[in-house]
Each structure stands twice: as structure tokens, then as C-alpha cells.
Structure 1
Amino acid sequence: MPSTHGPCAGGQALSRRRLLAALGTGATVSLAGCSATNRRTTVTGSWQTRGYDPARTGAPEDVSGPEPPLDRRWKADFVGDWNQTSPIVVGDTVYLGSMTGGMSGREAETYLNAFDASTGEVRWTRSIEQHTPKYNSSYADFLTASDDGLFIQTFRGLRALDFDGTERWTFENTGPRFLADICHPAVVDGVVYTGTYGSTRARGDDDEYRGSEGLFALDAADGSLLWKYKPDEYATDLTFSPTVADGTVYLCFLGRALVALDTADGEVQWTRAVPADTPATVRNGTAYVATQVFHERDDTYEYRLYALDAETGETVWDRPVGGAWSSRGISHDGSALYLSSDHHLVSLDAETGEPRWRAFSDASDWSEIGWFDDNHAPIAGWGVPVVIDDVVYAGDGEYGTLVALESDTGEPLDAAPHRRWGASGTEGSPAVADGVAFYTTPHFLHAVDTNAFEFW
């Protein structure tokens, strides 16, 4: 896959952002044959799940992102509004799940949408399921792909689909009550690892809460059950997306624990009783999870980030990460961590937990961009930030822009599209392919690439 840091026409490797900086901050010109975004070419790539890979790292090494300055390449609408997944990319197609309805006693309908990655043209929209929920239910972020097909969670189960939307099989993995959150399956070596969708708590005949099955391992070809794991004591409202790395599947239970299981048979390797508030991210032999604790004495929440030895579950370090709900996802680029907390985007050293920088904290920090005023600074959205080369891409949680920052310093570089009144924030995570970033706001799917005037 081409890289925006590859050799230009003259054979010299040069960052587009540094080239434009050398020409002047207002420059939007690019060199023939050296453009990161030739809009005549076909955009292709592979971004199969929120957080990029089954280890949930959010930082691929073989994907090229758009170099600032940024511009919106296209905008497309889809069926539904606030209820949509993060986009995924397979080949030259962007896929997006969405839902209409969902209020108690009213029909909810789940859709799968396919878009041309280059132009935003809608290729098709498929109705996947109709369901009338007993309780108010909104859509969760749970669309995933493998090399062989798509997987989308619905109210009646996990469904495997061909790339044209044709259903292959359905596996019932739903709890007694649906809660909207992230619940992506992880697909590795022909096996689908998926948690229970919705609440895993149910009252027994003796009026005591019991946990239901927490994790299922399925054959990706036919949906048959290979093994399942049922926690004995971690009854909870939510099972997060499983994470898979190096023969281990890591499963977080909201507010309760992180459990490490052998991918082959589900045997428990270790358990840590931590109040998990995100799925785990695993890289370089360490599992990272953000936690939340409520202190009744002063009616406050405490948020911390834990680094645990991936083989033993022992604490490597833990650090406070702010005072508000985190993004439910952590990115790791090999040396640093990135997540949102308290409306900020924060970065920590992955080895020590030492803070590196904190962005989105002060409107004055963004005055140089020119389209945020003193009362309207961007806030970090709920999505997992994406790190490619030396740029961090994150959705703005208030104005619906995609923001690019310098990964080493948190310095703002640019955002697109420029803020407009009435815009709504994004809660999904970006997907990136071939120098283009895709992200959602209510009602729209956006594609952002480098803002360049091309001489051809």
C-alpha cells in the first residue's frame, strides 16, 4: 500500500506536511506525481474493525493517512441518523451499519450500507433485521470484517454476511436486556470471538443476579460453537469487545474484571479484578485497560489507566487519566498510548505511564487554526484515536470534524471539514485507507484527504 512518506518524483523521501510548511502555512499546492491524494485514482485498503486489528491497537504500520492540510473529499448520507457504527474498509468499499427506530414497543430496523471508497457513491443498502425491543434500545458500534466476510451484531444475534450483504449464518449471543456500546467480535485464524451483546445480568428464581455466558468462540465458516466461557462471579451489565493477541483472548467486564483465556479452548490463564471501563489494548507484551471507580464520599469518579503484564496480569504501572468518562478505547503506536478523557485527548508513555501531552484543553491552543473561537474549543469524542506515522487522527465530539495532531507533542495540525454551526459530534472511530480517513457524524459518512491543488 502506498505511503504518504514515500519517495516523490525526484526520488527523495519528504513529508508532505513538512514540504508545505517550508512553502508557507497558506500553501495548498502540490507537486506533480507527488500527491498523497490523486482523486483520479481508486482508494483501496483494509480496516476491518474499530481500533484496526484484533489487538485493538489503533496504529497500523502499513497504512497511509492524509497529510495536513486536510480537506473533505466527499460526504454521503445513510439510512438512520444517530445510530451507526464506525466505518470499516474492505478493498474499494466502505461499510457502515445503521439503525432506525429502537424506542420501547416500536420496531427497530438494522441496515448495512456499502459505499464506493473513492467517490462516496452508495453501492447498496440492505435491511438486515427488524425487531421490536421491550426497552428503549439504541445501536451499538459492532461492525467487523475478516478476509472472508462481514460480521454485524443485531438484537437477535451475531450475523455473518458475504460482502454483498447476503446472510451466511446467525449465532444467538444476546443477553436479557440490550445496552448500546461497543461489542465488536474479534476474528483470528478462522475463529470468531464474541461476547454477549447487552446485559449479562439476569435474576434467577431466587431473585439473585447471575452472570450469563461472557464469551463464545465460533467457527467463522458456519457459526458452530467451538467453546464458551461463563464467568462464575463477574455478573455485570456489559461485556466489552474481546481482544486477541499472541494466542490469548482478553475479555473485560464493565466495572469488574479483565480475564485472559487461551484461544484454543477458553481455559482461564489469569484474572484481574479491576473496574474495567474499556476493552483491552495489547501490544509489546502488555495489556492496557482504563478503569472507573465511583467515590460516594465526595460523589466523584476516579479514572485510571492500568498496564498489566499480558502473561500474568500483574500490574506494571497505573496512572490517573482525568475526571470524566473515557473514550472506551486506547491506541498504542509502539511507544505511546492515546485515549480521550474529560473531553481531552491524552497521551502517555507506554512503558512508564508518564504523561506526554494533553490536547483539546484550552480554546486558545487552537486559535492559530482560525475557525474555533474562545468559547468553542474542540472536545475529544468517544472514538478510539488513530495513529499513523507521526499524526494522530481523532473525531471532535462537538462539531463533527476530524482533527489531526502531531503525535509527539499533541500540537494541532488541521481539521476538516472546518467547523459549521449546527454540526454534531462524532462518537465513532476513524478508518483509514490509501491516504483517506473515513469517519461518521449523525446522518453522514465523511471522507477526508489532503487539501492539495494538483498540476497534472
Structure 2
Amino acid sequence: MRETPGRLGTAMAALAALAALAVTATPAIAALPRPAASDWAQDGHDATHDGFNPDEYQITAGTVKRLVQRWSISTTGGATQQQAPIVAGTQLFLADSSGVGAYDATTGDPDWRFPLTEAPLLATDGDTLLAYVRSGELVALDTADGSVRWRKPIPAAAPAGRLLLDDGVAVVGGNDGTTLGAWAFDVATGEPRWQRLGLDPQWPVADGKMLLSRPYQGGMQAVDIATGQVVWESPKDWFGYAADPTGRFFLVGQDAELSKVRADDGHVVWSRSGLWGNPAIDHDRVYTGAEGEPETIVAVDLYTGQTQWQLAAGLTPSVAGGVLWAGHSTPDAGWQLEALDPVTGVPLDLPDAVHESGGPDRTVVTHGWLYTTDGATLRAFTVPAR
């Protein structure tokens, strides 16, 4: 039976009163700062470390031919080890051996610089920039002006240490041969959340869980990133590469065998031998390396693990706008950048300036800009408006 206008008005008034009461009775909960989905806010794009930006719509297979370089930033004063940048909104953060600098992401103009003695790992939620100095410190900087919000010593000086940021929690750590561990902090305050000694943090976060390996005891644990509590364990000596874009599965490796593992219970969905290296993962495929075949990218079906194509095209791939990017080195030409159709592996035509701008790190594509570094010079490309 349809409501009459009078009865509908009465019902709506009652619902409004209940809603007002609920708002009055329940205190507001402040939302955690979170980067926009299209931001490239940490190594590998986001906490999944999947190298995939699903929200890029300007740099595509149809527009890569029109890419032009707009500006560049080179290391100065003897600095080395320029890292791939991270980007949040209109800010770009760039690390090298002399510290970290903030720049306008569209012009390259400098905002501020924070000096350090080595190139840190970076991650941001848009408000706070985290710089993990792997010789033993985590520094939190205000993204607006570079001022220090807090800094914490990390007991392990881990040359291959890792930094993860997810849902207001930062986890850092690794193995320096003497001290091994993972340390978690509240991003807003710097207060310790948890620590686990004797375990080595791995890259990805999936479904609020991260992976900790046990180098000296063997096996792996999946823990809640907010609490450090163990969710499941495996006797496998897996290395955690990435999580898929849904955040429901980990992609892990052991002895050149790549496996897709459920994040909730560690169940193996599929395994493929002969595959290794940091992958990129979109909604359909995993793009990774082939054992014994340098700079060969193998595309396998995300759901079945079956090979779809392979090509000697580069390392450390990233995916955005329906384009697969990879740095490729040759003895004669040095580093070059390749762009491939992710469905077929067919190379796409690039302007010479783009093709010659490759490097060993991931190509960063976000907000209509493509950023590459060869370790000494960051170059920024975009598609001109018609």
C-alpha cells in the first residue's frame, strides 16, 4: 500500500528525529589521513606494493606518443642514489643520498628540503611524510613545510630494510646481520604500536595484514598491521613481493617459485616455478621476471597462474592507464624505458626523449604525469592539452 503524503511526512519526521538523536549520542570519530587512490604515495604505489595505479586516465596507450618532457631535477653537491619519487596531490617527494626534498609535482619548483646522511625510503598519507633512514631512524615530517613532527631510533641498521604505511600505522625494520626486527608506530603521534624481534618485515599489506619472515627459524607469519597479532603461520620461507589490487591475496616467492596466497588464511591458490622479482599486478595479470632470463617480463593470469606472454623488455614493471612500463638496459644505449600493451606484450611507440629516460626503479605514473629516474636525474613528462 502506498503511503499518503501525511503519513509519509510523519514517518520522515520520525526518522529525522531518530537520526538527530543518533548523531547527538555518538561522538564523532576523526578520520585518519589517507592518500587519494590516484596518488603514488609509497614504493609500489600503495601498501599493496603492486606497482599499479588504477586511476590514471590521461597517460594511456592512445596518448603515450604525445608525451613531452616538462622539467627535470638532477642531484647536486655530490649526492647520489636518487630514488623514484612518491607523489601526493600536487606535491612530489624525492630522496637521494643528501636527504629528501619536496617539490611542486607539475613544475618541479622546490618547496623545502630536509638534509639526511643517506637516501631514505619514503611514504606519505598526504599530511605526514615518513623518511626511513635505514642506518637506524624513522623521521616524520610535516608535508607543508618539512618541519619535524617526531623521530624515532630503530635498533636495526638494515641495508635492505622496508617501510610500510597503512591505515595510520607505519612499520619499519629489517636485518643488519646482528639485530633483526619489525617496529610499528602510530603515524600521527609517533607512539610505538608493537615490535617483533627476530622477524623481517616484507613489502605488502593485504586485508590489514602484513608478512614477517623468520630468517633464522624458517617460515613466515601473517600479522595484523595494527596490533602485530599473528593471524596465521606457514612453514614456507616465502618472500612477500606484493598483494593484488583487491587486497585479498599475497604474491610471494621462494626459490624462483611464485605463489598466490590467500591473505585471510595463507592457503595457496596457485604456484608457478621459474618466476621471480618484484611484480606489477593489475586486475587481470601479474607481470614478473623469468628465472635465468635477464630483463624478461612474463605476464601470467592473476586467477590461474597461466602464462599469457613473455618478452625481453625490462625490470621492475609498473602499470597505469592500460600501459605496462619497464626500465630496460642495453650495453650500447644504457637505460631505456619500454611501454607495452599489458594484454599482448606488444611494444608501444614512444617519443625518443621518453624511450631514453629509463632507469632501474619503477616508473611512476600519476595525475597525468610520468616520472623516471636513472639514479641521477628525475625527468617529468606529460601529455600537452590539445
TM norm structure 1: 0.57
Which of 94, 117, 120 does residue 174 from structure 1 map onto?
A: 117
Deviation per CA, 1:395-447: give whole Å up to 9, x if none: 446332332211222111113xx34xxx7x52x2x222221111212211111
Structure 1 SS opposite 2:170: strand
1:339 and 1:346 in contact (8 A); partners too: yes
1:227: Cα distance to partner? 0.9
Residue 43 of structure 2: aligned partner? 50
Question: Which amino acid is 1:407 matched to?
Answer: L
Structure 2 SS opposite 1:52: coil
1:118: Cα distance to partner? 1.1
- Measured in 1, the distance between the counterparts of 2:237 and 2:160 equals 23
Which of 146, 160, 177 does residue 88 from structure 2 map onto?
A: 146
* 1:223 paired to 2:169: no
Which of 217, 220, 228 does residue 305 from structure 1 map onto?
A: 220
1:249 and 1:263 in contact (8 A); partners too: yes
Point out where structure 2 has 5 or more consecutive residues left out of the alignment.
Answer: 1-37, 330-334, 347-386
Deviation per CA, 1:261-318: give whole Å up to 9, x if none: 1111100011111331534x3332322234433x8xxxxxx5x332012232122222
1:146 and 1:187 in contact (8 A); partners too: yes
Root-mean-square deviation over aligned CA pairs: 3.2
1:57 and 1:283 in contact (8 A); partners too: no
2:39 and 2:88 in contact (8 A); partners too: no
* 1:447 paired to 2:339: yes
Deviation per CA, 1:230-266: give whole Å up to 9, x if none: 13xx232337342222221112233511111111110
Which of 321, 325, 329 does residue 241 from structure 2 map onto?
A: 329
Question: Which amino acid is 1:387 matched to?
Answer: I
Question: Which amino acid is 1:236 matched to?
Answer: A
1:48 and 1:90 in contact (8 A); partners too: no
How many residues align? The count is: 295
Residue 118 of structure 1: aligned partner? 64
CA distance 1:235–1:435, shift in 2 (3 Å)? closer
Residue 386 of structure 1: aligned partner? 280
* 1:193 paired to 2:87: no
- Measured in 2, the distance between the counterparts of 1:91 and 1:47 equals 15
- Measured in 2, the distance between the counterparts of 1:267 and 1:173 equals 22
- Measured in 2, the distance between the counterparts of 1:117 and 1:400 equals 26
1:345: Cα distance to partner? 1.9
Question: Which amino acid is 2:103 matched to?
Answer: L
1:254 and 1:277 in contact (8 A); partners too: no
1:63: Cα distance to partner? 1.9
- Measured in 1, the distance between the counterparts of 2:103 and 2:269 equals 42
Query: Which residues in structure 2 correspond to 1:316-395 (within 5 Å)?
Result: 316-322=231-237, 326=239, 329-332=241-244, 333-361=246-274, 379-381=275-277, 383=278, 385-395=279-289
Question: Which amino acid is 2:129 matched to?
Answer: V
- Measured in 2, the distance between the counterparts of 1:437 and 1:143 equals 18
More strand by share: 2
- Measured in 2, the distance between the counterparts of 1:221 and 1:405 equals 42
Residue 403 of structure 1: aligned partner? 298
CA distance 1:446–1:292, shift in 2 (3 Å)? farther
Residue 285 of structure 1: aligned partner? 208
CA distance 1:320–1:148, shift in 2 (3 Å)? farther
Which of 142, 148, 159 does residue 101 from structure 2 map onto?
A: 159
More helix by share: 2
CA distance 1:356–1:131, shift in 2 (3 Å)? farther
CA distance 1:306–1:185, shift in 2 (3 Å)? same
Structure 2 SS opposite 1:306: strand
Residue 83 of structure 1: aligned partner? none
* 1:437 paired to 2:324: yes
Query: Which residues in structure 2 correspond to 1:78-89 (within 5 Å)?
Result: none
1:393 and 1:404 in contact (8 A); partners too: yes
Which of 150, 160, 167 does residue 246 from structure 1 map onto?
A: 167
Residue 54 of structure 2: aligned partner? 63
Structure 1 SS opposite 2:76: strand
1:305 and 1:318 in contact (8 A); partners too: yes
TM norm structure 2: 0.66
2:104 and 2:111 in contact (8 A); partners too: yes
1:47: Cα distance to partner? 4.5
Residue 261 of structure 1: aligned partner? 185
CA distance 1:158–1:341, shift in 2 (3 Å)? farther
Matched-pair identity in %: 24
CA distance 1:262–1:59, shift in 2 (3 Å)? same
1:144 and 1:184 in contact (8 A); partners too: no
1:58: Cα distance to partner? 1.9
CA distance 1:160–1:316, shift in 2 (3 Å)? same
CA distance 1:230–1:149, shift in 2 (3 Å)? same
CA distance 1:318–1:246, shift in 2 (3 Å)? same
CA distance 1:239–1:404, shift in 2 (3 Å)? closer
1:168: Cα distance to partner? 1.9
- Measured in 1, the distance between the counterparts of 2:115 and 2:57 equals 26
- Measured in 2, the distance between the counterparts of 1:287 and 1:346 equals 16
- Measured in 2, the distance between the counterparts of 1:444 and 1:120 equals 18
